[in-house]
Structure 1
Amino acid sequence: MTSETLWYANRATGAVTLLLFTAVVLLGIAVRLRTRLPGLPRFGTITLHRTLSLSATAFLALHIAAATVDTYVNITLTDAIVPFLSDYQPFWLGLGTVAFDLLLAVLITSLLRARLGHRTWRTLHWLAYASWPIALAHGIGIGTDTGTDWMTWLTIACVTTVLAAFTIRVTQAARESRRTPTTLLRTGVSP
């Protein structure tokens, strides 16, 4: 495989990974809000979130593989796992590594969810909220397509949808925290 092919593969998998993880974040918020997607039962949203998470992780693995196999820039597997060590753009690549490490923690704890307990798993799952914007900053800082019209609009669309969903989630959490046990009992909802 030529270096040019790997460069295009790295760019493409980076963009697809951004789209997929944006969808994963949106689906995660939908699951938490107990939202049903049209045409799917409630458990369908959860299943889609899990399946898309694994697909996004596979594209991320391809993205990392393309970056480490490409000889044009020297990025080692260690650089992909240990942040801020790379000789090539250590800060921006390091952000990608931090996002990857956070995502690994979410993935591993999700696989061990039954053994960890729901509360521990849920606390660690919050790392996904940190991983997404760090990965986004990585892409903006190191991406060779940053500034092109298509990537600018893709980034704006991803940020806008995640911010809108996150705002809805925070608004709902604030409403729920204002409810008192008395209010909940009056409405027939158990605390």
Structure 2
Amino acid sequence: MTLWYLARAAGVVAMIMFTLSASLGILTSGSRNPERRFWLQYVHRSAAATGLVLLVAHVIAVIADAYVDISPTVLVWPFASGYRPFGMVVGVLALYGMVLAAVVGAARGRLAQSEAFTKRWRKLHIAASAGWLLSIGHALLSGTDRGTPWMLAITIGCLAAVAAAGVYRARSQAERASTPLNLARVGRTR
């Protein structure tokens, strides 16, 4: 039972950490204040790193738990899982997206001098968004607690947090674009 509890807890808290990271990532890219942007990026990266550690703990605990009978091969071929195969495919794709985003994020500073990498960084980093959304799907499809009110509340809360961050950023950008100073700049460039 200990591994089962560990797997569940690590998976749920990883999803929450990735939600925090996604929300802050959305807010960071819309921030113009350098000090605020620095702290948002710091917490964004810290939440993502914490989420990755918990994701590794989740995967190890699930594989080590004899009750669900999931082998390590599920990480390469998730269709072969005897336990909710579609949910496992979604979870493995989420894992791939998160790991790709982590590798790209870690390499960003080292490769920032490359103009080609800088142009492609955002496109590659979108894997984190896909991974986050797939992790929500994995929780809804594979989690043993997926139908409980508390898990549904956490999942809906995660979706609402990212949606709220997106709405806030969109409104902030619309307000910035419609300020008289920005309108004057637009008029000068024409």
Give the secondary structure class of the aligned counterpart of 1:126: helix
Identify which of structures 1 and 2 has the higher relative contact order when contacts are C-alpha pairs closer than 8 Å and 6+ apart.
2
Distance between the aligned counterparts of 1:90 and 1:32, measured in 2?
Answer: 36
Identity %: 31
Are 2:7 and 2:61, in contact at CA under 8 Å, matched by a contact in 1? yes
Cα offsets for 1:37-60 (capped at 9, x unmatched): xxx743111111111111110000
TM-score under structure 2 normalisation?
0.83
Counterpart position of 2:150:
150
Deviations 1:52-84 (A, max 9, x none): 111110000000010011111221222134443
Matched, 1:54 2:49: yes
Shift, 1:167, TM fit: 2.8
Residue 128 of structure 1 aligns to which amino acid in structure 2? A
Match of 1:106 among 101, 116, 124: 101
Superposed CA offset, 1:93-133 (max 9, x none): 11000000111111111122232632211110011111111
Q: Give the superposition deviation at 1:26.
A: 0.7
Work out which of the residue numbers 4, 7, 21 in structure 2 matches 1:7.
4
Q: Report matched runs for 1:1-191 at 5 Å.
A: 4-34=1-31, 41-113=36-108, 114-115=110-111, 117-171=117-171, 183=183, 185=185
Q: How many residues align?
A: 181
1:114-166 residue CA offsets vs partner (Å, 9 max, x unmatched): 32632211110011111111111111111111121211211121111111212
Q: Which amino acid aligns with 1:74?
A: D
Task: Check 1:81–1:27 CA distance in 2 against 1; reply closer, same or farther (3 A cut).
Answer: farther
Query: For the structure 1 residues 98 and 186, does the alpha-carbon distance in structure 2 shift closer, same or farther, using more than 3 Å as the test?
Result: closer
Give the secondary structure class of the aligned counterpart of 1:112. Answer: helix
How far apart are the structure 1 equivalents of 2:93 and 2:136? 12
Runs of 5+ unmatched residues, structure 2 = none
In structure 1, the residue corresponding to 2:92 is in which secondary structure?
helix
Equivalent residue letter for 2:119:
R
RMSD: 2.7
* Structure 1 unaligned spans of 5+: none
2:82 partner letter: D
CA distance in 2, matches of 1:125, 1:41: 21
Higher helix share: 2
